[in-house]
Each structure stands twice: as structure tokens, then as C-alpha cells.
Structure 1
Amino acid sequence: MAVLVAGVLAQAVLTRAAQLRSLALAEEVFARLREEFLERATALPLSVVERAGTGDLVSRTTDDVDALSQSVRYGAPRILVAGVTAALTAVAAVLAGPVVALAGLVGLPLLAVTTRWYLRRAPAAYLAERAAWARLNSTLVETTDGARTVDAFGLGAHRDAVLDDVLRGTYAAERRTLALRTRWFPSIELSYSVPVVVALAWGGYLVADGAATAGQVTAVVLYLRQLVNPVSELLMWWDELQVGQASFARVVGLGDVEPDREERPGSPAGTDVRVQEVRYAYPRPDGSPGADVLHGVSLDLRPGERLAVVGPSGAGKSTLGRLIAGVHPPTAGSVRVGGAEVTGLPLDVMRRQVALVTQERHVFAGTLRDNLVLARPAASEAQVASTLAEVAAAGWVAALPAGTATSVGEGGHPLSPAQAQQVALARLVLADPHTLVLDEATSLLDPRAARHLERSLSAVLAGRTVVAIAHRLHTASDADRIAIVEAGRIAELGTHAELLARGGSYAALWESWHGRG
């Protein structure tokens, strides 16, 4: 009795110690995983991050980490305890009746074969299941974020069809893993039952032959029955580990994403920008290149020049700006800054040379100062104040409850779209790149706010090379030169006066716009 009590107490202590240790270890592991994931994501070129998709990245840091946490927090201690319990029970069976216990070996071949069959198929199936859930999350996020667009264009039925298709894929992936389990688990149950039946028959024979006692047979049969629970738990958590393994592969797999460029050490020898015979084709979902969006574009930017890029929607203006900013490498030709291929520069060097500002504005949760100094963490208060004054934001910042210490972003003080854009532009000023690509950076603001912000930018942009992609022609008329992009080519290039004198596409566009004004 004392031995039994001691065994039960030892099991309880071992179980508690294993769980406590695994929980502490799990929190350390998850914190490290999230930190490393964010480091990998922010170290990747923007095009690679965009190719992965926001929904997929969020799914990796939420659903996959949660699935992994289940395995690490509870799987490791349960497997340890179940393994020790199974081993001690098997030893006890052997000690109770060595010859009778040989019956327990009967179930091992079936258990080994079916488990091997399962483990060869489970990792790929669970990985596909996690990827299917990521696609479902991405679809839901895209539909929710674009709810206004869906409503405005009557795309509800289309988005429903897309979601149904994704749900069918998720259902199929879930059925595949379920099919594996429904084949594996019954075979496990059979591997438990057969040894018990054999032990009874074999034990009866031994008792009749005088080679064993009825007590030995009874003890061995009970021990074999006692093995069912720990072995079942062991295999159940082994199955859970397959889910955790798939989730872990997705969390750390971002580091294995194929790069879209080959970095070469070095720094540019100047600030001139040269675009030579550039072609670009966005990749299809299967990774193969699509049709060319840009067709042999060549362009030389003089240091300190302000170039306006205008043209119809879909002409390739934004694509050209993203190539100049190093977001995408060209599929042919080259984009060079100071003689160095822009996408060949190390990312930290490239981001100090050319910066891209788009229509999107993001305000992070934190203080206004934290948002501003992202580009230069060591910036002094004087530099921050000077930057705010340059982008004409000093007035409204001074009126905030705590100035630059005011909490903004989610749950904080709300900023208007114009104020959020000023924060984005202030980051650029602090980053101090010599070339800026403004991709319709003020197009989502109302005309008065946009005009005010563009006037305030004049001092900020002085001395920098600026590529301004815009649909408001007053922006173009103020530029040093204007490039008209049509069908992926530069159709016209010159000053405002020169292009008006030619009477081409720009002149027609100006006349149409000016006439409406």
C-alpha cells in the first residue's frame, strides 16, 4: 500500500513539475518566436512581404502561434508523464509474469506500422490545413477592410463566391487530416485489444501447463489494460505535435522565403538616379511572370530635380515609382542610384537613399513622438520640433493634450487623414533620404487640405530629388519636368511649357483639366 501511495504522489509531483516548467518554457519560446518573426518580416523587401499577404502573416503570428502553444504548453509534459507511466506499467507487467507479458508484444507490429503510415502523411496534411486557414483569414480580412468598396460597387455576391471557394478548400483540408485520424485511431484501439485477448488465451494455456499462476495472468492482463490510457494519451499528443510542427514550420518559415534580389555590399557614389530600359511584369499566383507592365522605360533624374509623373490609371506610374524606390527589382533593365543597382544595395543602405510615400497612412499605437522617430530613434526634441514645423504640423501638435507625448493610434487621440499624412511626411524628413517617391501621397485628402500640405512641402522637398506621381495637374505644373506615362511607356518628357507647346497628350490633358477648373 505504501508503495502504491508513493507512486501516486510521485506521479502527481512529476505531472505538476512538468506542467509548470513547460508553461514557463512556452512563454519564453513564444515571446522569442514573435520577436524573431517580426525581425524577419521587417528585414524582408516590401515586395516579399506583400507577396506573403497581410492575412497570411497575421495568421502565422496568431492562429499558428496559438496552435503551437497548445503543443508546447501541454503536449511536452503530458508526453513525458504518459511515456514514464507507460514504461513503468510495462515493467510492472514483466515483473508480474515475464512469460505471460510476452503477449503484450503482439500489438506492437500493428501499432508501429500504422503509426509510421500516419506520420509519413500527417505533416504535409496539417501544413496544408494551416495554409488553408491562413487563406480563409486573408479573405475575411480583405473583405472586411474593403467593406466600403464592396458595398459601393455591389461586389457582395462576388466576395461571397470567393469566400465559398476558400471555405471549400478549408473544408477539404480539414477532411484530409480527419481521414488520417479516423484510420489511425481505430488501428490503435485494435493494437490495445489484441494483446489483452492474447494474454488471456496465452495465460490460460500457461496456467493449464503449470508454467504460470492465475494471479500472474490476472496481474498481467490488468497491467495491459492499464497501459491503454497512457499510450492513448501519448499518441493523442503525438498527433497534436503534428499540428504544432506544421504551425512551427509556418512561423519560422518566413525566413526561408525566396528573396527577390541579390544584395551586394557597398554604397552609392552619388545621388543621381538612372532608369535604363526597364521592364517589369507582376508575378502570377503560381510565381511565373505575367504580362509586362513597363516596356523599356529609360529616365535620368538630376539631383535635386522634381519630376512629376502623370498619366491614365493603369499606365504603370506607380509601378515605375516602386521600381525607383527599390520595392521591386525590374524583370529587365536596371535602376541605379549613384551608379549602384538600387535593389542590389543592403536594405538598410537602400532605405537611406530612396523613400516611398503612398496613399496609405498608418499611425502606430503609442505616443506621437514614438511615431515620428521611427525613422531616427535618436532624434532630439529640437529635431522633432523643427520637422513638425517643416510639414506645417506644429500648430495642431501644440494643441494636443500632451503635445508629442500624446497617445495616438488605436485607443489614443484620433488624427485626421491630413494629420496622419503629415506624420508620415515628418518621418521622411527625419529619415532624410536624398530621393523621395510620392505616389499620390495627398490624393485621399480633400483638395484644400492637400493644397495646403503640398505648399508646406515646398521647403521640405528643397534640395531633394522628388518623383511625384499625381493626378492633380497643378502638382505637375509646378515640377521641373513632367513625364507622361501611357501603356507602360514614357510618351512625353519635358517641362510644363515645352509639353504645352508640343500639343500632345499632356497639352490635351491640361486643356481638359484647366477647362473644368
Structure 2
Amino acid sequence: MTHLPIAGRREVRLATVGLIRGDRRAMAAVLALYCSATLAGLAGPWLVGRIIDQVQHGADVSTVDVLAGAAVVAVIAQILLTRAARYAGYRFGERALALLRERFMDRALDLPIATVERAGTGDLMTRASVDVAALGTSARDAAPEIFISVVQVVFILGAVVVIDPVLGLCSLVATPALWMVARWYLRRAREAYLAEGAATTRLSEELAATAEGARTIEVLRMRPARVGSGDRSIGTAFAARVRTLALRSVLFPVAEAAHAFPVAVALVVGAVLMSHGRLSLGSLVAAALYLTRLGGPVDWILQWMETLQSGAASLARLEGIGRIPTTVPQQRAEPDGDRIDVSGVTYAYHEGHDVLHDVSLSVRPGERLAIVGPSGAGKSTLGRLLAGIDTPGRGSVTVGGVPVGQLPPDELRRRIALVTQEHHVFLGTLRDNLALAAAEAGDERMGQALAAVGADWAADLPDGLDTMLGAGGMTLDASRAQQLALARLVLADPHTLILDEATSMLDPTAARDTERSLAAVLEGRTVIAIAHRLHTAHDADRVAVMEHGRVTELGAHDELVAASGTYASLWRSWHGG
């Protein structure tokens, strides 16, 4: 199993800058609101200092009332501006997250099927769920909180410097310790959170594989092995999380200890300045209040830094999908007809272990070709190559003279469609599931497609085409799910259909009736049927027999039976003759 790539630091930075640039006006509004809220918050301590100085100089009550009233107004203004800033920041974050989700989905849906199969769905699903959720927290919560906290720190330090430059220097005494611990943390956080994400992916894959294969596990008595494998994955995930926890256990205590130190130093130094007449009591109190407030935003920065690191790791995993070539180069050459030619094809899933060996075959437009042979002969692999899912290691597969791997995906799917034994029923109505193949199809055409594949049960559904399927709705068994997939194929109406055991879930009689109905509906279309049931081969124009990754016989049914070769033996064995 291969792993999907992860974006580098530069790619993550570029993606972040791109999101900000994509909504500049909103970002400017957020910046203005946060700065205004911070400025309003600075008024309170300054006014308290002014009140103290005025009282010391014998000011009357009315002056104090005016200053106190101004402080109340400043607090109310700060609350309102902060609320507006957070609201604008959350909206900006949600829009950025929505854009990322859409981009991720576009990239994921455009990935080559072979890439997804080799990577496994666990990695992709973890990125689509866990990583998107983590990034959502960062974009919606962590980034705005860190931003406003940084603004507050800068403005508070500026206010202390304005009161007295010496006190401003006192506020920085804990900065070296905070800088060192933050740098130590950041050097280790990215790799630690990427490792945690990878461990979570592995655990998800283990759980999904165990759940999906529960019956096989029980039949083959594999429970101890699967439990052991699951325990190892859980142990790896646990160790990865302990590592990130260890990083936090160093970061936060140092930050907590660094809050009180600047305040204490400022009070001592401020007392000395007061004794020399360089500082008033009100100014010292105002500076102390500012420095006390400094602890809040610093705490928020350090607390949300952990979430931001997790979000950055998730963004790297999401952006990593963009590293995968989504499609082959967009070859605009127009195929000359629909003839399919396989020339000297050799293919291996793993280097050095060829599955197909020098396979050559031509399929004429409108021909019905059956591919038969024992399990492991390479039939399904050849079908994947014909459908453009995989690319030959050597040789070529062309349609109309153009390599299938160089056709744009929409053009390829318009010409060639593959239906396998695996069928997915999407959450939604029966109509939604059918519309995936032809969005413009009306009820009548959908009904005809269902009838063509023998799906008589569809007419008896309580809500007809509007019947809900999947979780919370009607559950289709394997045979009905297969008929639904075939109905989609009829609606898609490609010129070439590749049926890889596409009726295997139906009983033999129903399967043959369905294939005959399909043949009538798809008259004039090229049909390549990969089958174990030899009645499919009997009805075909030609039969290709595969053994050990090679085409060993090719001809009409009667010719091959008369030749008394491998096909004749298969036919007699299957037919009981």
C-alpha cells in the first residue's frame, strides 16, 4: 500500500497566502475591527491611571465621574467591536474552509482510480474528515484568536513604552524564555502532528478493513492476527499522541511562569522611578494593569499555537493531494472511430512480477467479445487497461488510434465504461443514483433503463424513483445494487462497455435474461464481457481465452469448441457435455 503525498512548508505557505488573497476585503475588515477593539481595550487601564492621578491632585468628583464614564464606554466599545471582529473572522474562516473543501473534493474526485486503490481509502477518508475538521478549527478559531492576541500584545507593549520606555523594557524580560521554548516547540511540532495524522490514518484503515472483512476473519480464524494488528496500530497512535502531549507539557508551564515575572520587575523598577519623581502612581498602576493583561493574549497565542500546528499539518496533508497528477496530459487528438487495439501489452502491479505478458488483441466497433479463463489469468487486469484505469508497462492500448491513457477523462468515459462486481449505492433517492450517469434523463428514460436490466422491483417501491436508498432508507441487496449499476450503464450509453462479472450477483437464469436484455438495448455498441459463466461466451461474436497473463485462443464459440483446446475443455466442463 502506498501513501498519498504531503505538501511541503512552502506549498502550505503559498496555500495560506492564496486563501487570504482570495478574500482581501474581508481580511482587511477583520484587521480593522480587531485593531479597533484592541485600541478600545487600551483605554481602560489608561483611564484608571488618570483617575488615580486626579484623585492625588485633589480633583473633584465630577472629573472622576467623567473619567469613569469614559472607561465604561471604552469597555462597551471593546465588547461590541470584539464581537463584530470575531463574527467577521469566523465568516472569513468558514469561507476559506469551504473553498479548501471544494478544492479538496475536486482534486480527490479527479484522482486516477489506480492511485486511490493503491493508497487505500483510509488515508483519503482521514484527510477528508479528520484533517478537514482540524483545519476547520484552525481557520475558524485558532487563526482569529492568534491574530487578535498578537495585535493585543503589540498594542499593550506599545502602550507601556508610551507610559515609560524603561517599563517597556521591563515587559520584555520574559521574552527570551518564551522565544526559546516556542522555537523549540515549533521545530518539533510539524513532524509530530504529521506522525499523529499518519497514525490515525493507519488506525482507520485497520478498523475499516476488520469491519468490512469480519465474516472472512471469522471463517479463516484470523481474529488473533487482526486483534494483534489492531493493537499495534492503536499503540502507534497512542505513542504519536503522547509525543504531541509531551511537547505541550513543556510549552505551557514555561509560558505560565513567564507571565508574573514582567509584572513583578515592572513594579520594582516603577517604585524606584517614583521615588526619583520620574513616574506618577497612576502611570505605574496603568503600566501594571497593561502588563497583567499581557498574560491573557500570550496564553491564547501559546494555547492556539498547538491547534494551529495541528491545522498546518492537516493543510499539508490536504494540499498534498495536489501533488498527484490528477489526470494524464490533456491530449486533444480526436480518435478515428471506436476500434480498440491492444498491442504487445505487458503489465505488472509490482515491478518484476508481470501479470500480463505481450497481449495483443483488436476489438471491432459493435463487436461482442467475451474474455474467459481461470481465476488469476489476468482478465480483470486487461479490463482495467482497456478502460484506461491503469497504463501498460510496455505496449499500448488505443481507441481510434489514440492511447486511452491520453484521452481526457470526460472523453474516455463517454467512449468506454467499466462495470465490475463492486457496486456502490449512494446516499440519496433512486433518481439521484441514476442521475449520476445522465443528469438530463427523465423519469421515462430512467424507467426504461431499469426495465432493461430486469429491475422489476423498482416499480413496486413505495415512492418510486423518489425512494431513499442507503442509510436511513431502503437497503439494496447485492443483486439489486448490481442491477442499479447496470441501469446507470444503460443511461450513460458509452460506445464501449466492459462488463467484469457485472451480473455475478444475479442467479444464472436472471443473469442470462439481463445480459440478453442488455444486448438488445445496447445494439450497435461494443461489449467486452469478462465472465466465468460460459453462456456469455456462447452468445458473443468472439471469445478470447486467457491463461497465465496471455491470450492463448481467440475465435468464435463454435470454432474454439471444434479446436478441442482449452476453451473446449472449459465448455464441456461447464456445460456438462
The reply to whether TM is greater than 0.5 is: yes
Q: Distance in 2 between matches of 1:38 and 1:211?
A: 63
Match of 1:89 in 2: 156
Q: Distance in 1 between matches of 2:154 and 2:74?
A: 14
Match of 2:551 in 1: 490
Q: Distance in 2 between matches of 1:98 and 1:299?
A: 86
Match of 2:251 in 1: 184
Q: 1:280 to 1:112 in 2, by over 3 A?
A: same
Contact 2:338 2:365 in 1 (8 A): yes
Matched residue type, 2:245: L
Matched residue type, 2:407: L
Matched residue type, 1:237: W
CA shift digits 1:339-386 (9 cap, x unpaired):
000010000000011100001122222232222222221223443333
Q: Distance in 1 between matches of 2:99 and 2:167?
A: 50
Give the counterpart of 1:397 among 439, 458, 481: 458
Q: Distance in 2 between matches of 1:332 and 1:173?
A: 42
Is 1:418 the counterpart of 2:485? The answer is: no
After the TM superposition, which residues 77-476 of structure 1 pair with which residues of structure 2 at under 5 Å, given as runs? 77-196=144-263, 198-199=265-266, 202-203=269-270, 206=273, 220-259=287-326, 261-283=328-350, 289=351, 291-393=353-455, 395-476=456-537
Greater Cα offset, 321-330 or 81-90: 81-90
Q: Distance in 2 between matches of 1:25 and 1:256?
A: 26
Q: 1:198: how far off?
A: 4.1
Q: Distance in 2 between matches of 1:336 and 1:478?
A: 26
Q: 1:201: how far off?
A: 5.4
SS, match of residue 173 in structure 2: helix
CA shift digits 1:301-353 (9 cap, x unpaired):
12222222222222211111000011111122110001000010000000011
Contact 1:48 1:259 in 2 (8 A): no
Contact 2:111 2:325 in 1 (8 A): no
Match of 1:9 in 2: 76
Q: 1:211: how far off?
A: 5.3
Contact 1:264 1:345 in 2 (8 A): yes
SS, match of residue 346 in structure 2: strand
Matched residue type, 1:329: T
TM-score, normalization by structure 2: 0.81
Q: Distance in 2 between matches of 1:20 and 1:414?
A: 42
Q: 1:194: how far off?
A: 4.4
Q: Distance in 2 between matches of 1:93 and 1:430?
A: 73
Contact 2:94 2:139 in 1 (8 A): no
Matched residue type, 1:85: Q
Give the counterpart of 1:36 among 99, 103, 120: 103
Matched residue type, 1:492: E
Contact 1:435 1:464 in 2 (8 A): yes
Is 1:504 the counterpart of 2:565? The answer is: yes
Matched residue type, 1:79: I
Q: Distance in 2 between matches of 1:169 and 1:158?
A: 17
Greater Cα offset, 42-51 or 429-438: 42-51
Q: 1:20 to 1:213 in 2, by over 3 A?
A: closer
CA shift digits 1:247-286 (9 cap, x unpaired):
2232343232234733312221111111111121225xxx
Q: 1:28 to 1:223 in 2, by over 3 A?
A: closer
Greater Cα offset, 405-414 or 133-142: 405-414
TM-score, normalization by structure 1: 0.90
SS, match of residue 172 in structure 2: helix
Matched residue type, 1:448: T
Q: 1:167: how far off?
A: 2.1
Matched residue type, 2:132: V
Q: 1:60: how far off?
A: 2.0
Is 1:54 the counterpart of 2:121? The answer is: yes
Matched residue type, 2:183: R
Matched residue type, 2:498: V
Contact 1:14 1:81 in 2 (8 A): no
Contact 1:260 1:329 in 2 (8 A): no
Q: For the aligned residues, what is the CA RMSD?
A: 2.7
Contact 2:346 2:393 in 1 (8 A): yes
Matched residue type, 1:276: S
Q: Distance in 2 between matches of 1:2 and 1:76?
A: 34
SS, match of residue 271 in structure 1: coil
CA shift digits 1:95-122 (9 cap, x unpaired):
4443233122222233233323433332
Contact 2:452 2:521 in 1 (8 A): yes
Matched residue type, 1:100: L
Match of 2:3 in 1: none
| Structure (1 or 2) with the larger CA radius of gyration | 2
Matched residue type, 1:364: F
After the TM superposition, which residues 63-78 of structure 1 pair with which residues of structure 2 at under 5 Å, given as runs? 63-78=130-145
CA shift digits 1:144-180 (9 cap, x unpaired):
1222222222222222222223223322322332333
SS, match of residue 174 in structure 2: helix
Contact 2:377 2:548 in 1 (8 A): yes
Q: Distance in 2 between matches of 1:149 and 1:513?
A: 27
Unaligned residue ranges in structure 1 (runs of 5+): 284-288
Contact 1:312 1:486 in 2 (8 A): yes
Q: 1:437: how far off?
A: 0.9
Matched residue type, 1:356: L
SS, match of residue 105 in structure 1: coil
Q: What's the % identity of the aligned pairs?
A: 52
Contact 2:452 2:514 in 1 (8 A): no
Greater Cα offset, 211-220 or 363-372: 211-220
Contact 2:90 2:144 in 1 (8 A): no
Q: 1:296 to 1:194 in 2, by over 3 A?
A: farther
Is 1:478 the counterpart of 2:539? The answer is: yes
Q: Distance in 1 between matches of 2:327 and 2:352?
A: 16
Q: 1:88 to 1:6 in 2, by over 3 A?
A: farther
CA shift digits 1:163-205 (9 cap, x unpaired):
2232233223223323332333344345435434544554566
Contact 2:123 2:202 in 1 (8 A): yes
SS, match of residue 227 in structure 1: helix
Matched residue type, 1:456: S
Q: Distance in 2 between matches of 1:437 and 1:112?
A: 63
SS, match of residue 357 in structure 2: strand
